[in-house]
Amino acid sequence: MISEPVEIEFKIKNKHNLKDNDIFFPSEASALNKDRFIASFKEMLDEKANEMEYEVLSNYVPQEKSELYNFDAFSVEMNDEIHFYAWLNDKIYNLANLGNNNNNNYHFLHFCVSDINNDGYLEISTSVNFNRTSKNPFSYTNLAIIDDYSEKIVHFYSNNAFAYFKEDQDDVICVYMSDTKTYDDGSYDESNTLLTKLLPNDYKFTFRKKEYNCSSDNYDALITIDDNTAYFPVLSDRERIGFKVNVDMTYLGESFSYVNPTDYLDGATCTFINGENKIICEGWGGNDAVTQFVVLTGMKINRTYFYPYNLSYQFKKGTYDMVISYRGESVVIEDFLTIE
């Protein structure tokens, strides 16, 4: 029997009655709300605050937007590098690292405030764009979406283009790429090259247990589910959201040696199966690069697997069995994951 999902409690925040998406450019660099940002920034750094050399430079959010959404976006210089941070309701979010201050020049920012999933809490989408020196106009975009309700941030990126937000004919927020390669005048050219759309995420994940022990003749395995990254209110083609499964295996069989064709030590894998539908982990194995390995009786092999989804790769909804496998031997735990 599937247990009821546990409700996660978040701190009380003011809801916004946001009827329309609000897309806007930055203001001129200013010192608006600099003191409150510095206070939160020091709190985030904790004991490192007195050890690190940094300078909070400028806020780029227009004053009326800052007051309306309780939101700021600051540039900070640390160790000769320029970083961008967002301040939203007393919490700091890292938006982008532009690298060496002498080699990189950011040229424009773009912001979008929305409530795509209609829960009364804001999502702040940011695009921090920069290129190298004029001799090397390679451009790069750091895109991020902050969810004020869960206090999560999701990053995705675009090379060789500058990205901006714009609604399509159906009022859906889209991320478009500008074909302009240099921004000496601080402007950009609008383009119809679509990078991705930002759509509501209606997935709901329910796991039978967050920890589960399973055994076979040749191994024991402790399965630990981490679904903290499984849900985000906005879906796009470029996001990296999903759940994680840690498989801590103890090998019980006879010792053996092998040469792994992928040059990795493999532990027990974890797959979710619903009929012909399978959710397979991204990647395989770990970072123990070897050409030959000996697995001894009683040896522990720990692996963490990630199961990502986005608009381009979506999970089929339904109830899945969890299958733990190692060396051709599998343990099936029925009705372990339900996706609604």
**CA 232: distance to chain centroid?**
9
- The 10s digit of each residue's pLDDT in 305-323 is 999 999 999 999 999 999 9
Query: What is the domain range of residue 237?
Result: 205-339
Distance between CA 14 and CA 71 in Å, rounded? 13
Residues 131, 249, single domain; the answer is no
Q: What are phi and psi of 313, to 5 degrees?
A: -135, 100
Q: Residue 142 in contact with residue 155, Cβ under 8 Å?
A: yes
Identify whether 6 is part of a domain: no
Rounded to the nearest integer, the mean pLDDT of the chain is 85
**CA 40: distance to chain centroid?**
22
pTM here is: 0.86
Residues 161, 209, single domain; the answer is no
Q: Which of 198, 219, 241 is the last residue of a domain?
A: 198
Counting the structural domains of the chain, the total is: 2
Q: Residue 164 in contact with residue 148, Cβ under 8 Å?
A: no
Identify whether 5 is part of a domain: no
- The 10s digit of each residue's pLDDT in 261-293 is 665 677 899 999 999 999 998 755 455 556 678
pLDDT band at 2 (very low <50, low <70, confident <90, very high): very low
